[in-house]
Chains A and B, each alone.
Chain A
Amino acid sequence: MPYLEARDLAYRYGGLGAVENINFALEKGEFLSLLGPSGCGKTTTLKMLAGFLPPSAGEIRLKGNVIANEHRSVVPNKRNMPLIFQSYAIWPHMTVFQNIAYGLRIRKVSRSEARQRVERVMDIVGLANTADRYPHTLSGGQQQRVALARGLVIEPDVLLLDEPLSNLDAALRAEMRAELRRLHDELRMTTVYVTHDQTEALMLSDRIAVLNSGKVEQLGSPRDIYESPATRFVAKFMGNWNCLDATIDASGSVRLPGAPDRTWTVNTGARGAVVLCVPIDGLEICRAETSKGANQSQPMTGIVKTCTYQGDHIEHVVVLDHSDAILRISSPKDSSCPAGTRVKLSVCTNRCVVIPDGWRIEL
């Protein structure tokens, strides 16, 4: 029996953020990320899990018991599922200790036990020696830790997090991301985490659900999501793919519109109109006049539009000949080709992914 389960969950009011057919089943201790752009419905889903929105259809089950369906929804304060807000929602009129002890006070935990539990959780999240301080004297990272501690101390059934890192600056965000990973490895808390940041989702999750316009586009492990996107949207959103419209003929040869015949062959059973996903680091670029790549039967050719230095690599944007397709190519720093250069491209075909056109993964 799954620990936390959403079955055909839907929320249909209020246009933006409406969701339909949300399904997932988590084992105890699993970390699920809901990943998607703003307005995709990830926060709506989280608020249904927390109990702030009643589902229009479907149900949520915790340890096999229905906690919400279209007829009744357990109030948030009876769910034991604390929500960590993007704004942290630390109470400014309470000290760090009072903030963290709040849930224990409500549960009528004895003073001495509460003190012990609060101190332990403050140690775990790295907040030692801040107990009597007021929130406004804390840094953003520390406030974030208070919010986490406040949720963890009540020994929740599920921990819910709503874009908790998006208010932090880049360095602090990386630090807190690592911290969250450590906490999850240590405590194995069942967690649902909402984010629009691919890196966060990849680093933290056991599984990721990519949402778009209120529907789950793909549910899978970080490796699945990153290396074999199920839909064009997932490929585009993860950002490491070039998505090209292509056709595959009966013999399995890929044809790009306007490009020469039989450019290359990929290993797929799909035929007809497809989306061909080429990883941006799965392309090799070289000047057209060099002989390198000439052994390839019919290499793609094009003209470099821009060439941008990115620190650890160089990004080329290439316009393909006979086509209006544009490719982003991430290449090593020693292979820079300035704008206007004619180039040949060789493709690492075993890393390409073919998505049959109009096809959506069924879950």
Chain B
Amino acid sequence: MAAAILGVLVLLPLIWLAGLAFTGAGTVTAQHFQEAFGDALTRKAVVNSIILSAGVAIGAALLGVPLAWAVSRTNMPFGNAVRYVAVATFVIPPYLTASAWILLGGPNAGRINVLLRSLTGTDITLFNVFSLPGLIFVMSLYAYPLVFLPVANALSELPGELEESSQTLGAGRLRTFFCVTLPLVLPAVAAGVTLAFLEAISEFGAPAVLGIPAGVTVITTRLVAYLQYPPELQLAAAVSLPSIGFVVILLYIQRRLLGKRGYGVVSGGPGSGARKVRFTGWRRWLILSLVLPVPVASLALPGLTLASAAFSKAWGRGLTRENITLENFRTTLGGSSGAMQALAHSVELAVGAATIATVLGLLLAYSARRQLLIGARFHSTVAVIPYALPGVVLGIGLFAAYTHAPIQLYGTLFVIVLAYVTRTLPLTFTVTAAGLQQINADLELAARTLGASGARAATGITLPLLGLSLISSWILAFMPSLSEFSASVVLATGQTQVASTYIYNLEAEGRFEEVAALGVCMVIITLVAFLLLQVARSYVKVRRD
């Protein structure tokens, strides 16, 4: 049963991709690869993707590492708030961030350029987001939490004794930093940087919004271009396969690096927390002001820009009294436009996908952890494969698998649910498995010896204890599904528009006020889910300790 579900969700699209890429005219052939990579535009897209991803990885490290140090190793004020803001960055999906940056950094009417011109009295264009560097800048701001969060955790979990031992043995502060601190957090830095690279290479939204108008093509946008009429599915498959391989290698490296982090926490007993550098008086605030631009530019600036555009008649004129309006919400959410329908689709799909993925994740994790399935390890591995599938590639796989008889699902909402479930299954599986790991198997066995049947022990003991994990799993699956774009762009049709694809169409028509209004609605829904999660977590924490 579980095997069949995993097969349909994960393996079938992959098999179709491979089939399409390697066969032509009834025989096995490498012709599609030759044709795809013989195309100069595709080769350029590969080069651009690598430059973009490397740039984002470096940018995320430059932003994330100093911020991590300031938050976890100094007495900078509002450190915890900065952490929350970093997590909340993901609340605004990248295509919306990118749209906001058009309003901020567009060459002609962008707020920043307008402001600079009026300040300097010249007509220079300092900043142009419609360029590869602009794209790197915007995506680095989006991806920095991927470096910041693991490094901040590693730094604050580092037992102070490790550094103090070095000092008692005669090493100075600087030497201690380079010989003890840095090597211990380097794996976390490297893992985060790899993750940022992966995020950049798989991302479709921001490169579509900013790259396509600038004529900068990357692999994901090239893949989607292959699907436009007339669709060249074989070529898309031929480009997809090597990208999967590349991502798998990167993920493997990332796992190895994170695995190594284990030695950071090897210690004899319960160590005391990390030692902080204590700044006094105004110096604390100086540190804050030095790092503040990062959360401001990544969350506050795009967030406020979107919000103000959503309430404006024309975004360029600013929030003056005569420019304020609710008309955008009326237009987008009114019955006549497709926006309401698209948003409703997204909510329905996200609720459905989150529910299915959570139940599947629970069944798989329970069977794997309690050794109920033959080949439990194999199932666990297959369940996390979709991590390595860029959304566009998964979309193409599902497109290929379900456009034919007998299972013609393309054009239905069902195929989109399949995509979301597949994309979020690794998440729900991992979260639930980690939750189960925390629950001693003895708890269930004790119930058995007191007379409870296997089913009663599982539902009466383990399930309630797993509550928080299940809520986390559901919300963590709901949030990305609500704003999912890269698989949706391949699978959504005129009748099955979702919020992200609808926003993309509005954006292409330059209707930024409506983009912003719809975006605000999405962000509010996501934010509510995000806050629910935080509340659930703190509630359970209070009850347990």
A interface residues with partner B (beta carbon < 8 Å): 50-52, 75-83, 85-87, 89, 91-93, 102-103, 106-107, 134, 136, 147, 150-151, 154, 160
A150 to chain B: closest residue by CB = B450
B139 to chain A, nearest CB (A): 43
Q: Judge whether A89 and B465 touch: CB under 8 Å.
A: no
Q: Is the interface of B mostly helix, strand, loop or mixed?
A: helix
B187 to chain A, nearest CB (A): 32
Chain A residues near B440: list those with CB within 8 A: 87, 89
Starting from the known contacts A77-B452, A93-B465, 17 additional A-B residue pairs (CB-CB under 8 Å) come to A51-B448, A52-B448, A75-B448, A77-B454, A78-B451, A81-B449, A82-B449, A85-B445, A86-B442, A89-B443, A91-B447, A91-B465, A102-B450, A102-B452, A106-B456, A136-B545, A154-B450
Chain B residues near A93: list those with CB within 8 A: 464-465
Q: Judge whether B464 and A76 touch: CB under 8 Å.
A: no
B314 to chain A, nearest CB (A): 56
Chain B residues near A50: list those with CB within 8 A: 445, 449
Cβ-Cβ contact count across A and B, 8 Å cutoff: 70
Q: Judge whether A103 and B451 touch: CB under 8 Å.
A: yes
Chain A residues near B451: list those with CB within 8 A: 77-78, 80, 103, 106-107, 154
Contact pick for B450, options A51, A75, A106, A136, CB 8 Å? A106
Complex Cα–Cα for A91 and B446 (A): 9
Complex Cα–Cα for A50 and B442 (A): 13
Q: Judge whether B465 and A92 touch: CB under 8 Å.
A: yes
Complex Cα–Cα for A50 and B450 (A): 10
Interface string of B430-470 (1 = CB under 8 A from A): 00000000001011011111111110100001001100000
Looking at B447, B454, B461, B464, the one whose CB has the most chain A CB atoms below 10 A away is B447
Chain B residues near A80: list those with CB within 8 A: 451
A94 to chain B, nearest CB (A): 9
Q: Judge whether B449 and A160 touch: CB under 8 Å.
A: yes
Q: In this assembly, does B544 line the interface, its C-beta being within 8 Å of a C-beta of chain A?
A: yes
Q: What would 5 A/B residue contacts be, using CB atoms closer than 8 Å?
A: A50-B445, A77-B450, A83-B445, A87-B442, A160-B449
Chain B residues near A83: list those with CB within 8 A: 445-446, 449
Q: Judge whether A76 and B545 touch: CB under 8 Å.
A: no
B439 to chain A: closest residue by CB = A92
Q: Judge whether B445 and A92 touch: CB under 8 Å.
A: no
Complex Cα–Cα for A64 and B450 (A): 22
A162 to chain B: closest residue by CB = B442
Complex Cα–Cα for A204 and B458 (A): 34
Chain A residues near B442: list those with CB within 8 A: 85-87, 89
Looking at B450, B453, B456, the one whose CB has the most chain A CB atoms below 10 A away is B450
A191 to chain B, nearest CB (A): 14
Complex Cα–Cα for A245 and B446 (A): 46
A164 to chain B, nearest CB (A): 12
Chain A residues near B544: list those with CB within 8 A: 92, 136
Looking at B443, B464, B465, the one whose CB has the most chain A CB atoms below 10 A away is B443
Contact pick for A77, options B443, B449, B543, B545, CB 8 Å? B449
Chain B residues near A103: list those with CB within 8 A: 450-451
Contact pick for A82, options B450, B454, B465, B543, CB 8 Å? B450
Complex Cα–Cα for A162 and B461 (A): 21
Q: Judge whether A79 and B464 touch: CB under 8 Å.
A: no
Complex Cα–Cα for A150 and B445 (A): 13
Complex Cα–Cα for A101 and B448 (A): 14
Complex Cα–Cα for A134 and B540 (A): 13
Identify the 9 closest CB pairs spanning chains A and B, nearest first: A103-B450, A89-B446, A89-B442, A76-B448, A83-B449, A106-B451, A85-B442, A82-B449, A77-B451
B193 to chain A, nearest CB (A): 39
Q: Judge whether B449 and A102 touch: CB under 8 Å.
A: no
Complex Cα–Cα for A167 and B450 (A): 22
Chain B residues near A79: list those with CB within 8 A: 449
Q: Judge whether A76 and B445 touch: CB under 8 Å.
A: yes
Complex Cα–Cα for A116 and B378 (A): 50
Contact pick for A102, options B445, B447, B453, CB 8 Å? B447
Q: Which of B445-499 contact A (CB under 8 A)?
A: 445-454, 456, 461, 464-465
B453 to chain A, nearest CB (A): 6
Chain A residues near B461: list those with CB within 8 A: 91
Complex Cα–Cα for A67 and B461 (A): 26
Q: Which of B361-391 contact A (CB under 8 A)?
A: none
Q: Judge whether A52 and B445 touch: CB under 8 Å.
A: yes
Looking at A75, A80, A83, the one whose CB has the most chain B CB atoms below 10 A away is A83
B301 to chain A, nearest CB (A): 44
B320 to chain A, nearest CB (A): 56
Q: Which of B28-61 contact A (CB under 8 A)?
A: none
Chain A residues near B447: list those with CB within 8 A: 91, 102
Complex Cα–Cα for A136 and B464 (A): 16
Chain A residues near B446: list those with CB within 8 A: 82-83, 85, 89, 91, 147, 150
Q: Judge whether B452 and A106 touch: CB under 8 Å.
A: yes
Looking at A50, A78, A93, the one whose CB has the most chain B CB atoms below 10 A away is A93
Q: Which of B390-447 contact A (CB under 8 A)?
A: 440, 442-443, 445-447
Q: Judge whether B450 and A89 touch: CB under 8 Å.
A: no
Chain A residues near B543: list those with CB within 8 A: 134
Looking at B446, B449, B452, B454, the one whose CB has the most chain A CB atoms below 10 A away is B449
Complex Cα–Cα for A107 and B456 (A): 13
B447 to chain A, nearest CB (A): 7
Chain B residues near A136: list those with CB within 8 A: 544-545
Complex Cα–Cα for A134 and B446 (A): 18
Complex Cα–Cα for A106 and B449 (A): 11
Chain A residues near B452: list those with CB within 8 A: 77, 102, 106
Chain B residues near A151: list those with CB within 8 A: 449-450
A97 to chain B, nearest CB (A): 15
B443 to chain A, nearest CB (A): 5
Q: Judge whether B464 and A89 touch: CB under 8 Å.
A: no
Complex Cα–Cα for A52 and B370 (A): 13
Complex Cα–Cα for A8 and B106 (A): 84
Chain A residues near B545: list those with CB within 8 A: 136
B457 to chain A: closest residue by CB = A77
A273 to chain B, nearest CB (A): 45
Complex Cα–Cα for A92 and B442 (A): 12
B14 to chain A, nearest CB (A): 36
Chain B residues near A77: list those with CB within 8 A: 448-454
B126 to chain A, nearest CB (A): 58
Complex Cα–Cα for A282 and B464 (A): 58
Chain B residues near A51: list those with CB within 8 A: 448-449
Complex Cα–Cα for A87 and B439 (A): 11
Complex Cα–Cα for A275 and B442 (A): 42
Complex Cα–Cα for A93 and B449 (A): 19
B447 to chain A: closest residue by CB = A102
Interface string of B88-103 (1 = CB under 8 A from A): 0000000000000000
Looking at A83, A91, A103, A154, the one whose CB has the most chain B CB atoms below 10 A away is A91
Complex Cα–Cα for A134 and B465 (A): 14
Chain B residues near A81: list those with CB within 8 A: 449
Complex Cα–Cα for A265 and B452 (A): 61
A154 to chain B, nearest CB (A): 6
Complex Cα–Cα for A147 and B446 (A): 9
Chain B residues near A134: list those with CB within 8 A: 543
B455 to chain A, nearest CB (A): 11
Q: Judge whether B456 and A89 touch: CB under 8 Å.
A: no
B371 to chain A, nearest CB (A): 12
Complex Cα–Cα for A50 and B453 (A): 14
